[in-house]
Amino acid sequence: MNIVPLSAALFAILFKEYIHTYHLIGGVCIVVGLFISKSSTSKFFKALS
């Protein structure tokens, strides 16, 4: 679900739409959030083992 706005921005680039700074900031926030959630989840499951 978090990748939907990022993929929409990528499609906008393909269709020659304008990308603004807030689109880039939002995309970076999404990617950073995915990496944080993935790394914290893996640490959590390792602690349970």
Q: Which two tokens stand for residue 35?
A: 């990496």
How many whole angstroms separate alpha carbon 31 and alpha carbon 7?
12
Q: Do 12 and 5 touch, CB atoms closer than 8 A?
A: no
The ranges assigned to domains in the chain are: 4-48
What confidence score (pLDDT) does residue 16 get? 86
From first to last of its 49 residues, the chain has per-residue pLDDT tens of 567 777 887 888 899 888 788 878 888 888 888 787 777 665 655 666 5
